[in-house]
Amino acid sequence: MKRLFLRAGVLALALAGSLPALAHRDPPGPAVKAPLVIGHRGGGSGYLPEHTLEAYALGIELGADYVEPDLVATKDGHLIARHEPNLINTTNVKDLPQFAARKRTVMLDGVPDTGFFASDFTLAEIKQLRAVQPLPERGTQFDGQFEIPTLAEIVEFVKRKSQEKGRRIGLYPETKHPTYHRSIGLALEDRLLRVLTQAGWNHRGAPVFIQSFETANLRYLRTRTELPLVQLVDADDIDAAGKLVFNPPYHKPYDWVVSGRAGNFGDLLTPAGLAEVATYADGIGPWKPYIRSTACTLVNGGACADVNGDGKVNEADRTLLPPTDLVQRAHALGLLVHPYTFRSEPRRLVSDYAGNPAAEYLMFYELGVDGVFSDFADDAVAARTQYLLKNDPDYARCLVDGRCGRGRR
């Protein structure tokens, strides 16, 4: 974008015969591209029950560029926003006597899962549920108040907010457990595209990314839509030394389990793996340690020790390892890089960040990522402003005067 502006400027000034003045008028160096803030589960999910219009609205108020609904299907084929097909942890379903008999055990990606499944409920029944906070470290004061939104409602909401705020707000839907949904006759992909098409958003240039941890459904989507697709790349854990660990069921895309393909998620990010991803996807959404892992400062019998003495062993007891070259390798293939998940609670922050969430965002922005999935859009946005002020000589004027070129915020 910046290069285009410069060219236009050069042309105009050359025509005016005042080319030497150019050096003074244009800031030195190229403008820095602002990384996207993707509102993970809404971007306000650090504060309110996730995947509710209220959490999405808060994420947008806090500055998120994209709202990220996870999608599962109801019995009557509607797509709704939930992180899991099992509603037990994110809704009040277990407290509603009218649904007590729906509780059952389902094999989800090869693992038995007991609870209440979206595919056993019609949309009208889903609308009787209310969202609750699934993470024990977060406040429960808003439990039982907010509805479960459908994809169609979310699209309409995002469009309305975009207009209201006068800025481009996008949608970043994730197809959850696509093999599972296909196996129960409720395949997600065409349902998703139908809603997007109805909204006029199924074309290149629409403010939409589609993401998946599986590969086969992204390949299928590639044949059905021009929208950008993002290959998510998971792992089970990292060990004390910072090495990624691949234990089932988080070791590989589930469609690889079904097709018998060998390997694990890490194989998607080798030179050959990335080249394969680039044939069907436009970007990768890697777990953060693939870009910069962490190691335990102190190891006790092979396990991490409580270094900071707070009685718990977590991220705060680890330190950063050197970054990998994943961002550069992905960019060399034209792939965007959107790592996940950025969270502001102290126990989620590696000791190097000294309890300051902005330090983590700044580090990843400096490494060149194109966006971040964040539960706390405010922290991601504040850090982005700092990053742009530091790296873009023109940005202070943009921030204060509101005169920002395209690609700026």
Helix (H) or strand (E) holding 305: none
Amino acid identity of residue 211, one-letter, is Q
**In the bound complex, what is the minimum distance in angstroms from residue 320's beta carbon to Ca ion?**
16
User: Would you say 315 or 392 has its CB closer to Ca ion?
Assistant: 315
Q: Which is nearer to Ca ion, 237 or 310 (CB)?
A: 310
C-alpha to C-alpha distance for 258 and 1, rounded to whole angstroms: 43
For residues 59 and 70, the answer to whether their CB atoms sit within 8 Å is: no
Cis peptide before 341 (omega within 30 of 0): yes
* Cβ neighbours of residue 160 closer than 8 Å, sequence gap 6 or more: none
Closest approach, Cβ 306 to Ca ion, in A, equals: 4
d(CA 190, CA 298): 49
Specify the residue, 87 or 296, whose C-beta has the smaller distance to Ca ion: 296
Question: Please, what is the minimum distance in Å from the beta carbon of residue 318 to Ca ion?
Answer: 9
Q: Considering only residues 215-254, where is the footprint of Ca ion by CB under 5 A?
A: none
- Interface pattern 292-311 for Ca ion (x via CB under 5 A): --------------x-x-x-
User: CB count, 10 Å around CB of 244?
Assistant: 18
Residues listed for the chain: 409
Q: Which is nearer to Ca ion, 4 or 303 (CB)?
A: 303
Tokens of 149: 């939104």
- Least CB distance to Ca ion at residue 309 (A): 7
Segment interacting with Ca ion, rule: CB under 5 A, options 91-99, 136-144, 273-281, 313-321: 313-321
Report whether 387 contacts 396 (CB < 8 A): no
Minimal distance in Å, beta carbon 343 to Ca ion?
A: 16
Q: How far is the CB of 307 from Ca ion (least distance, A)?
A: 6
147 binds Ca ion (CB under 5 A): no
User: With respect to Ca ion, which residue has the nearer C-beta, 267 or 317?
Assistant: 317
The nearest distance, CB 300 to Ca ion, in angstroms, is 12
Dig out the tokens for 93 from the structure: 């379903």
Residue given tokens 């990053």 in the structure block: 387
- State in angstroms the smallest separation of the CB of 350 from Ca ion: 12
Looking at the Cβ atoms of 33 and 348, the one nearer to Ca ion is 348
Which among 23-31, 79-87, 198-206, 312-320 is the span making contact with Ca ion, rule CB under 5 A? Answer: 312-320
CB nearer to Ca ion: pick between 307 and 367: 307
Q: Are 299 and 306 in contact (CB under 8 A)?
A: no
**C-alpha separations of 62 from 10, 366, 375 in Å:** 38, 22, 11
Residue among 306 and 352 whose Cβ is closer to Ca ion: 306
297 or 324: CB nearest Ca ion: 297
Tell me the sheet residues that pair with 283. 230, 336
317 binds Ca ion (CB under 5 A): yes
Q: In 33-91, which residue ranges form alpha helices assigned H by DSSP?
A: 53-61
Peptide bond into 173 cis (omega under 30): no
Q: CB 23: neighbour CB atoms within 10 A?
A: 8
Give me the least distance between CB of 314 and Ca ion, in Å please.
6
Stretch touching Ca ion by CB under 5 A, among 55-63, 68-76, 265-273, 316-324 = 316-324
Residues binding Ca ion: number (CB under 5 A): 5
Sheet holding 66-68, edge to edge: 170-171, 66-68, 36-40, 371-374
Positions in the binding site for Ca ion (CB under 5 A): 306, 308, 310, 312, 317
